[in-house]
Structure formats: C-alpha cells, structure tokens
A and B are shown apart, each in its own frame.
Chain A
Amino acid sequence: MTGYTTCLYIPEKKTEKWGRSMMKPWKAVKRLVPLFAGLSLLLSACGREDLSVLRPQGTVAEEQLGLIKLSITIMVAVMLIVFGIAAFVWIKFRRKPGQNEVPKQVEGNFKLEVIWTAIPLVLVLILAVATVQKVFAFGENYSADKNAVKVKVTSHLFWWEFSYPDYGITTAQDLVIPTGKKIALELKTADVLHSFWVPSLAGKTDTNTDGTINNAWIEAKNEGVYLGKCAELCGPSHAFMEFKVKAVSDDEFNAWVDAMKAPAVLPEDPAVAEVFKNQCLTCHAVGDQGGPIGPNLTGIGSRESVASILLNAEGEGNYVGSKPAKDNMKEWLMDPQAVKPGNKMPSPKEDLGLTDDEINAIAQYLADYKLSY
C-alpha cells in the first residue's frame, strides 16, 4: 500500500480514538500521546519522496515540516476538545419527548469566558514564537556567502531558466545543484508572475517582475532528483510548468559545470546542422551559440524530461510511464501545442516548415546531446 492511501484513513482512526476517549474522558490525555505520535508517523509516510511536503529532503523543508507538525498537534488538540464538548452536549441535552419546562436562561460565565480566551491566546503565542524564528531563518540572504552556489532563476511561460553567474553557464528545466551546500536563489520572471516550488526541498517563492525581485535559499541533504512546480496561475499550461532539481555530489557538480562550458556540439549531418542553426538557434542556444529567447539546449539529452512533462526513460528519476528521450523529443517537435497548450514555441512543422525527416534528425541529435558528469 502506498503512502497516500494511508492518508485517507487518518480521519477514521481519529474519530475512533476520539469516540473512545469520550467514553473515558480521564484517559483521554494518556491516549492522546500515542495518537499524535501515530499521526505524525502516518503523515511522514504520505506522498512521493521527491514531491511531498511530508517527506522533506532538504534543510528548509525539514524545518517547515517541523513547524507544520507543531501546528497540526496544537490544532488536533483544539479540535478534539471542541468535538468532545459538542458531542457531549448534543447527546446529553437533546430535548426528550414531553420535556417542556423552560431551561435556565444563563447569561454567561465570566470564569469560563476568561479560560477560553486565555488558552487559545497561549496556544497562539507558542505557534507565534516558532513562526517568527523560522521567518527570519528562511528570510536569510546567502547571495554574498562565498560557500553558497548562486543561481539566477528566471521563469518564462511555461519553462524555467537557471543561470549560474559564478560559472557563466545557463541551463533550463533541470536545476543541477551540489548537495550539502546552500543554494542562493535570485528569482524573477520574464513575463507574468510564477512561483518557484520544490515541495521536498523548500516552500514557494514568487518570481516577480523587475523591481520586486526575490531572494531565497534551498539546500538538498541527499542526492536525488526532486520535482519542482510552478505554484502561481500563469496561463493555460500552468499545470505543466514543472521542473526538476537534480542534487549531485560536489565532484559531479564540478564535472557538470565543465561539461556545460565545453564547446557546443552541432549535428554531424551538415544539412541538419544548417536547419538547426537557421531555425532553432534563432531562439535557443547550445554552448556559446544561439539566442536567449527559448530554453538553453546544451546537453538536453541528459535531462530528466522534454518540455517538463514528457519524462525521459534515461533520466535518473526512474519515472513510471517514461519514454526514450528521442521519442519524447519527437512528440514535442511534431506538435508543441498538443503537449503544452499556449506555449510560445513556433511549431517546427507548421510555422518553420521543417520536414518530418528534419524533425526526426534534430530529435535524434538533441536526444544524443548528453553531458558526461
């Protein structure tokens, strides 16, 4: 049984426990402790490791989950108290048949009212202290830190651009980072607002327009590929504006940087190379050639996906339902609008006049364009 189906059973378990604790209220406290432990266990078993907020793989997400657990604990306690009183009242004070005397009209009770003002206030204060601590910790700006890796994130309709100012390289869709290091992000958009979210590494930061550029940081503890998503409605393909964060060892990261800096590889067949140069490189770039309008294609064959949602079988994420990179590339090039409605790439076939053979050759070339690291 996978984690998420377990989640579905939480409410039932909860009501069951709550029902029992109602019968023996004095035992309630004793029962609550294992309940909360069980609850957090259940929660941590929820969702995919590379996607779930509940299964953090990085420093920020871990601390966020800590805060989430603290608040859930407080809130479940509050709920149990309210539900308990409610159930008691509903059962005990039902009007019995024939009951017709007028109940005592109670105006209020000062002591009780003070209690239920004071206790929530205390609970809120506990949460507030933890909140303020974390707000400032996550708000730290590491862009001046020499040990941090700086990345400029630029969001586009509907893809992500990552450039590394210290290394002079730019890539797209797969953000490659070394583990155990702070990654200082500077986030902005090239068009409408988007939001940068890697649930298992850190919460969101919006990518705003010039003038309101944001900074944030992430840190991956373990090597792996993590799913990133756009979390701000940005147009038709908002749902498909995904990206990957690939956390690798320091050595691999350096090897990747070197491979990115290597001279561009162009298609071997000169005719294909000519088409590629004239039609694709007007917007896209490989190595030091081409333009900055579309996603950078350097080493695109090593990426986890084509167009963020066609998952590559060669990728390290081992995705269910993935296909060979070449097939994905071809599917995309044959009709980009069918894959990602509303995207800005001209159709190679309709708009640029490429033949099926040319598309096939370019797909093959791009799928084979791998970086060794």
Chain B
Amino acid sequence: MAHAHTVKRHKGLMDWLTTVDHKKIAILYLIAGGFFFGIGGIEALLIRVQLAKPMNDFVTAQQFNELITMHGTTMIFLGVMPVIFALMNAVIPLQIGARDVAFPFLNSLGFWTFLFGGLLLNLSWILGGAPDAGWTSYTPLSSTTYSLTHGVDFYTIGLQIAGLGTLIGGINFLATIITMRAPGMSFMRMPMFTWTTFVTSTMILFAFPAITVGLVLLTFDRILGANFFDVAQGGNPVLWQHIFWIFGHPEVYILILPAFGVISEVVSTFSRKRLFGYSSMVFATILIAFLGFMVWAHHMFTTGMGPVANALFSIATMLIAVPTGIKIFNWLFTMWGGQIRFTTANLFASGFIPTFVMGGVTGVMLASAPADYQYHDTYFVVAHFHYVIVGGLVLGLFAGLHYWWPKMFGRVLNEKLGKVEFWTFIIGFHMTFFVQHFLGLIGMQRRVFTYLPNQGFDTMNLVSTIGAFLMGVGVIIFLVNVVLSFRQPKGVAGDVWEDGRTLEWAIASPPPEYNFKQTPLVRGIDAFWKEKMAGNKEMTPAEPVGPIHMPSPTILPFMMSVGLFIAGLGFMFTNDDFGNSVLNFLFGKYIITGLGLAITFGCMLLRSLFDDHGWHIDPDELNDKEVKAS
C-alpha cells in the first residue's frame, strides 16, 4: 500500500470546489442554504411591510406577486431543503459508522446542481423579472399568454436543475443507509434521524421525478409551443395541478420528516432517556410517508373533483393525524421520567412540540373538504403551513444546528445567546402567524398585494408584520452567535453534550477526514450510550487498524453543473430577439444549449473513461493524526 498520496490535494477555494468529503459538502450545503434562506427571509419581510397597513403602495402589485412566488419557491427548494441536506451529510455517515457516503462523487454533484439551479432561479431578479404566478405556478396564469416575462422560465428550468440535485442526494442517502452501516447496526438499531432520512430519501426518489416532468411540460408549453395546458388546443390546466401536488404534498413530508428525526435525537439526548416507543416511531414514519403520497388532491378541494373524490381525500388526509399523534406522544413520554436539560437545542425541540401540534390540528381541520371550501386560499392556510414549516421544520433545524454544531465545527454555539435567539424567534413566530388564522376566517384571502380598509384586517396585519421583524431579529442573533463561535479555538470534546447516545458522539469534534479509524461494532440501539453504560469510553472496533481507502477530489461535478446552468440559460432565451444577429443565432439555434449539454456530458464521459481508484491513508499516518488531534 505504498501508493498513498498519489492523488493531488487541493488547498483553499479549489479544495471546496473539488471536495467529495461529506463533512465539507455538509458545510457547503449549510452556507448555500443559509444564503438562500436569507434571501427568502428578506422577501418575507418585504411582503409583511407591504401588508402592514391597508392600501399600502410600498411595492407594486406585480412586484408583490414576484415576491410571494420567490419567497415560497426559495424557502422550500433552496432554503430549508439544503439545510436538511446539510444536517444529513454532516450526521448520517457518522451515525451509521461509515467513512463516507455510498457515492461521494454524486454527493458533490447533487450539491453543485442544487446551487446552480438556485442561482439560475434567482438570476431572474436581474434578468427581466422574477416568476410571478405563485410557487404553485398554476396554468394558464403561468403560460406565456398571461405571464409575459421570462420569470416562469427561470422557475421551471431553475427548479429542474435544482431538483436534479435533490434527487441525486436522495438516491445517495438511500444507498448509503442500505449498504454502509457498521457491523451490527441492523435497520431496527438505526438512530431515528437516520430512519427519517431513509424514509425522506425514498419519498424524494418517488416525488421529485413527477415535478420534473411537470416542469418539463410547462417549459415545452412556454418555449416550444406545446399544448399540455393550452385549452384552445385540447390541453388541460387541471392536469398541472395534479402533477404539481402529486409532488407537492409528499414534499411537505420530505421537509418535516427529517425535523421529526432531529427532535427525536435531541429530546432523547437531553432527557437522558432512550426514545420512547422506538418501533412505533419507525412505523409511524413509514406510515406518514405512505399516506403522504395518497392525499395530494386535498390541495384541490375547490377545483371541482366531485364529492366522491373530495370525501376520499378528506378521510385519507385525516388519517395522517394518527401516526403524527403517535410521534408527539412518544416524544412527551421520552421526556417523562427523564432528566430534562434545557439547552438551546432542547428549547427549540420543546418549542417545536406545541407549535407543531397547532399546525397539525389546523391540518386536520383543513382536511375536512366542506370546511376547506371556506379556509382554502385564505390566510388560514397561510397560518397553517407556516406553523408546520416554520414552527415545525425550521424550529427542528435550529434544534439540529445547535445540537450538531460542535460536531460539524468543533465549537459550541453560545448557550445564553441561543436562549435569547429562541425566545425572540418563537414569540415573533406566534405573533406573525397566530393572528393569520383569524384573518383568514374573517375573509382575507391569501396572495393579495393589499386590502381595502374597514374590513377588520388592519390591526392583525400590523401585529403580524411586527412579529415577522421579531423573527428576523431572532435569525440575526443566530448569525451573531455563529460568528462568535468561530472566535473560539477549534476542537471541543467528542461527546460534547456528555449524554450523546449515537455513534457520531464516539469520535472527535470535528471528526477526522476518515471519520472512524476503525469501523465500530454496534451492539444495540443507541450504540455509544450502550458502551458508556457498560463502562467503555470508546466503541469496540469491528476491524483491525488498516489502510483507509478515500475517494479522490474532483472538479467534474462542479463543471457538470456549470454545463447545466449554461444549457438552461440558453434554452430559456431560444425565442428572444436580441437585436443582434450573432446572439440570435447562438440562442435561436440552440448553440448555447448544446454547448452547455456538451460540457455536462463531456464531464460524464471523462468520469467514465478515467477511473477513480482513490487513495489510501496508511495506518502509521492514522496514528500520527491521532496524536495531532488529541
């Protein structure tokens, strides 16, 4: 094994562009996700400023529609999804005792396609106008007849590219969890976050191709003149709604399940108790995922599907309350009889429970179709899904970030500041969204750029706007906390919370490049806790110390994504007249599109022709690093 280090190692920016290390990719996801989350947040604040008083003219009607479209799209696809992927990348290989993911190359490709898709979508702000047909982009409003700018093209093509990244990520985590688990870690010994990642990845695999097709059809309608949604030529706008929500509803569970996983880990750790009802938790997760694919049409109760369909989809939707309830009670009884420590992470997890329950019960209310005829497309719905996505998912993500921050960066976030951040954020959150339930019930429909005075909407809207700014303050405190954390020296204890239960706490913070010097032997659920209870300080190794095989860094994923970005941009402007014969030729004859695709497929060819055998870290070097690390 004398051929170690034949691989070129990069430094600085090139290191980040070429990395295939899941821990570094996690950080990339976190930075990019945080960036887009910030953009989406600013959009949210602009929306709330516009709605602070009746007949406000802070933004125009057109700008407002662009803001709400981009706020929704950015937050869901580019804000929270990547942060979820950041946590998955940072934690999953460690939790299952693996040295890396199954496909390090694809992992990097998934990140870069997501990033370039997101950048393409946001380029719309400076290239003629953002999409304006809502994040659902219902046809015919999103057709070229009614949406005149390239906005919706940026939406369809940007999301296709970003969605490709998500799909790749999903496949990667599925394969990783199936094949890369350490010896002894059976499926029913996997930590809950690994389980929810597994189920979420399955949902991604089956949901994302559907929206990809929908987006392709809409792109073809808009650019090639196809007639999928053009009624005059026999098309069917309701078809778009079905395709969108067949993806869209599973997407909701794709978002929330990882948060369930985070909460399970955090609550259990800080109660010093194993997760109550682990098997029923697993069962509930799978059931939610399964039902999640059966209920898409509850977004379409007012579309006119007929009473039979409405009744069936109502009942199916209500049933989801049962497994969700199981989860809630399991968390409460995990804490029951424990020794609860309210760290910032656990505060967020504790705040999650009642907040998410409130979002959940309004969900059941919405499931009742005849009542939904009243709630549908009002602020009641806006309140509901923000309770679920912000009150559920975002609180879960904050809990996860505070919990795993030391593992990712080797530094702890300030606890005092964290508590201020929690209270500001959650009070702001309830202020913003609680009143919106009532706004909906007293007649305020959603997606309105302003409203007439004297309808009883004014006070509650003002309260909502103030709350939104409070949430903004909470996020800024978090950012300050992040900056401060980097002023500490790196390298806290491996089991920094002292009550770590799962494998990631058995190794250094941050972990070395190869994660585990020796693959650990798993002897039960909560493997590390079990060893600690048996009086061991470390995991029992399942193999002798030997050379560790590592994948080589590569720039190809980055280049492939650049290619897709160029191809997408080129395709979008196919029918434009630039008033310049060279540009018209380049875009109109698909030259730019072809060039982009050539880059992408060329990189694939290179990847196939030149095999990556990786490189090895020698055992003596492992011992060196051990010395350096400790």
Contacts and interface: CB of A to CB of B under 8 A. Distances in A.
A and B touching (Cβ–Cβ under 8 A)? yes
Interface of A: 2-5, 7-8, 11, 43, 46-48, 51-54, 61, 63-64, 67-68, 71-72, 74-75, 78-79, 82-83, 85-86, 89-90, 93-96, 99, 102-109, 112-113, 116-117, 120-121, 123-124, 127-128, 130-132, 134-139, 191-193, 195, 197, 199-200, 202-206, 208-212, 214, 227, 229-239, 309, 319-321, 341-342
Please report whether the interface of chain B is mostly helix, strand, loop or mixed according to DSSP. helix
A103 B501 CA distance: 14
A251 B518 CA distance: 90
B304 A93 contact: no
B304 to A, nearest CB: 4
A104 B336 CA distance: 10
Given A68-B365, A117-B326, 12 more contacts: A8-B463, A47-B443, A54-B441, A93-B337, A96-B339, A105-B273, A106-B337, A135-B310, A195-B376, A205-B302, A208-B237, A239-B450
Given A116-B329, A192-B140, A321 B61 contact: no
Contacts of B364: 71, 74-75, 124, 127
A83 B441 CA distance: 24
Contacts of B440: 53
Nearest to A50: B443
Interface string B436-468: 001011110111111111111101100100000
A203 B311 contact: no
Interface in B405-451: 434-435, 438, 440-443, 445-451
B452 A309 contact: yes
Contacts of B377: 195, 197, 204, 231-232
B273 A210 contact: no
B370 A64 contact: yes
A112 to B, nearest CB: 7
B324 to A, nearest CB: 9
13 contacts: A2-B456, A53-B442, A75-B361, A82-B329, A90-B350, A107-B277, A127-B368, A128-B315, A131-B315, A209-B231, A212-B237, A227-B443, A231-B377
B456 A48 contact: yes
Given A105-B274, A120-B321, A127-B368, A79 B303 contact: no
Contacts of B454: 319-321
Given A128-B315, A203-B373, A212-B238, A99 B339 contact: yes
B307 interface: yes
Contacts of B540: none
Nearest to A203: B373
A64 B373 contact: yes
Interface residues of B, number: 95
B340 interface: yes
Given A64-B370, A229-B445, A209 B140 contact: yes
A86 B354 contact: yes
A93 B456 contact: no
A159 to B, nearest CB: 16
Contacts of A227: 443
Contacts of A117: 322, 325-326
Interface in B305-340: 306-307, 310-311, 314-315, 318-319, 321-322, 325-326, 328-330, 332-333, 335-340
B71 interface: no
A54 to B, nearest CB: 6
Contact of A138 (B365, B370, B456): B370
Nearest to A99: B339
Nearest to A189: B140
Contact of A135 (B65, B311, B357): B311
Q: Which 8 A-B pairs have the closest CB atoms?
A: A203-B373, A47-B442, A139-B307, A239-B448, A236-B61, A75-B361, A134-B370, A214-B304
Interface in B243-278: 271-274, 276-278
B131 to A, nearest CB: 12
Contact of B273 (A78, A103, A204): A103
B369 interface: yes
A211 B303 CA distance: 12
Contacts of B378: 231
Given A75-B364, A124-B318, A211 B370 contact: no
B304 A208 contact: yes
A203 B376 contact: yes
Nearest to A207: B304
B341 interface: yes
B311 A231 contact: no
A238 B353 contact: no
B357 A138 contact: no
A130 B368 contact: yes
Contact of A191 (B140, B302, B374): B140
